[in-house]
């Protein structure tokens, strides 16, 4: 299940989930960055937990619930997306699907993270454009948005 859709694929079971998502499910929002779990551009959720899809065999994902950047909201209105827009976080934008997926997972577990919790959750998401200061601010802002919008489940 990717974003609540079922896919059946006849693929090499060892193929990383990343390529199944991108080239077989056709969801291009999840990015290839390094192939060795070092940059976080490929971050998706497996049953709500962030994983590096570039190093996760597709066979291990069967029967699990995968969420990609395309699946976190219908109208670009997830609090994290709203905060990212408000603070104009992305530059080239390539790493931000992964950044946002890591941030969404963090806030789900810890709706009011301090800077240390942000560092721990986000330190393995690399941004070459250097948007880290805005990422931090946007996570704090998303936390506020969640607090004032408690009705909305996410």
Partner 1 sequence: MQTTENINRRSFLKMTGLSGAAFMLGISATGKSAASVVNMRGLEESATLTPYIIIEKSGQIVIMNPRPEIGQGTYQSLPGIIAEELEISLDQVLIKQTAGEKVFGRQVAGGSSSVRGNYTLLRKAGASAREMLVKAASTSWNVPVEECYAENGKVFHKPTGKNIAYAQLAEAASKLDVPKEPTLKDPKDFKIIGKSAARPDILLKVSGKAVFGIDVEVPGMVYASVERCPVFGSKLTSFDDSETKKIKGVLDVVKAERIVFGKNHYEGIAVVAENYWAALQGRKALKVQWDFQGFDKFNSKEYEQSLRDLSKTDGFVVHNSGDFDKAFADSPAKVEAFYETPMVSHSTMEPMNCVAYWQQGDIIEVWASSQGPSLIKDELSRSLGISQDNIKVNIMFNGGGFGRRLQSDFASEAALISKAVGKPVKVIWTREDDTQLGPFRPMTFSAIKGALSTDGKAIAFQHKVISPSLGASRNANYDKSKPDNSMIEGISEQKYEIPNMKNHYVFADFHVPISAWRSVTSSTLAFAHECFIDEMAVKAKKDPLLFRLEMLNKESDTKKVLNKVKEISGWDKPLPKGRGRGVAQYEFFAGLCAQVVEVSHQANGSIKVDKVYAVIDLGTVVNPDNTKAQVEGGIVMGLVAAVKDGIRFENGKSVQSNFNNNRMLHIDEMPEVVVHIIADGGPTIKGVGEPGLPPLAPALCNAIFAATGKRIRKLPVDLSKV
Residues of this chain that bind partner 1 (CB under 8 A): 11-12, 15-16, 19, 22-24, 26-36, 38-39, 41, 68-70, 73, 75-77, 81-82, 84-85, 88-97, 100, 118-119, 122-136
| Nearer CB in complex with partner 1: 45/136 | 136
| Nearer CB in complex with partner 1: 61/127 | 127
Distance CA 7, CA 81 (A): 26
- State the minimum distance, in angstroms, from the CB of residue 75 to partner 1: 7
The residue among 133, 131, 71, 55 whose CA lies nearest residue 104 is 71
Would you say 51 and 43 are in contact if contact means Cβ atoms under 8 Å apart? yes
- State the minimum distance, in angstroms, from the CB of residue 62 to partner 1: 16
- State the minimum distance, in angstroms, from the CB of residue 64 to partner 1: 20
Residues 6+ apart with CB under 8 A from 72: 78, 80, 81, 100, 101, 104, 154
């Amino acid at each position: 299940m990717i974003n609540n859709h079922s896919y059946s694929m006849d693929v090499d079971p060892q193929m990383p989930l990343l390529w199944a998502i991108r080239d077989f499910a056709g969801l291009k929002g999840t990015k290839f960055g390094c192939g060795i779990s070092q940059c976080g551009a490929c971050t998706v959720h497996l049953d709500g937990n962030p994983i590096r899809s570039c190093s996760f065999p597709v066979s291990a994902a069967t029967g699990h619930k995968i969420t990609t950047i395309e699946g976190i909201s219908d109208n670009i209105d997830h609090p994290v997306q709203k905060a990212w827009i408000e603070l104009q976080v992305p530059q080239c934008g390539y790493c931000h699907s992964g950044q946002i997926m890591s941030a969404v997972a963090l806030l789900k577990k810890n709706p009011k993270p301090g800077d240390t919790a942000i560092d721990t959750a986000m330190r393995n998401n690399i941004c070459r454009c250097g948007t880290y200061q805005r990422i931090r601010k946007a996570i704090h802002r998303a936390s506020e948005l969640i607090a004032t919008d408690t009705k909305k489940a996410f």
